[in-house]
Amino acid sequence: MSKEHEHGMSVIVKTVTRLTVGLIFLYGMYIVLHGHITPGGGFAGGVIIALSFINLDLAFGGKVSGKVFSKGGTSLVEALGAVMFLALALMGLQYGGFFDNFLHPDGEPGDLVSAGIIPLENIAISLKVGAGLFGIFLTLIVLQKFESEKKQ
């Protein structure tokens, strides 16, 4: 690894990233929350959210987003998403069956608050996918980079 990768990329890249990374994150949130109305959903939105963190890492070097999100933090959030998804499925057992849509009568079709548990499942999947992908990125790239630094 060359020196510039450790401290991030050039000033141009850093400035553009600072301006756009929030918009990318917001777009991911929009895709997740509107998953039951427009194309998209938990998987795509979760990957976009993870990509916004990856964008930070690539532009500013590996140690910036590590302060926000450690490897253990990503594991925790990923497990939380999985447990939330399973808990939603199990709560349906009380009303009729596994994955029963027990919140369905609330809301008109087309509204943001509609479709029962589908938006909640989208949020759970986005937590799982986003944190899982970012954890893989941290493990495969950032931590390996630190190890190669130590060797040198």
Partner 1 sequence: MIELYVLLGLMIAGAIIAIEVKNLLSAVVAVGIVGLGLSIIFLLLKAPDVALTQIVVEIAAVILLIRATLHRDIALKPCGSRPFGGFLAILFLGLAVLAGALTFSGGLNPFGSPLMTVSEFYPMNAVAGTGAVNVVSSVILDYRAYDTLGEATVLFTAVVGVLTVMRSKGKKKEEDLQGNNE
Among 64, 86, 87, 93, binds partner 1 (CB under 8 A): 86
- Pick one of 33, 59, 77, 133: the residue that binds partner 1 (CB under 8 A): 133
CA distances from 151 to 102, 124, 146 (A): 56, 39, 9
Measured over all CA atoms, what is the biggest interatomic distance in the chain, rounded to whole angstroms?
62
What character string, x for contact with partner 1 (CB under 8 A) and - otherwise, covers 7-26? --------------------
The letter for the amino acid at 81 is G
Task: Provide, rounded to whole angstroms, the least separation between the CB of residue 133 and partner 1.
Answer: 6
Site map for partner 1, 100-119, x if CB under 8 A? Answer: -x--x--xxxx---xxxxx-
- Token pair, residue 14, equals 């850093």
Contact by Cβ (8 Å): 21, 8: no
Binds partner 1 (CB under 8 A): choice among 33, 47, 56, 59 = 47
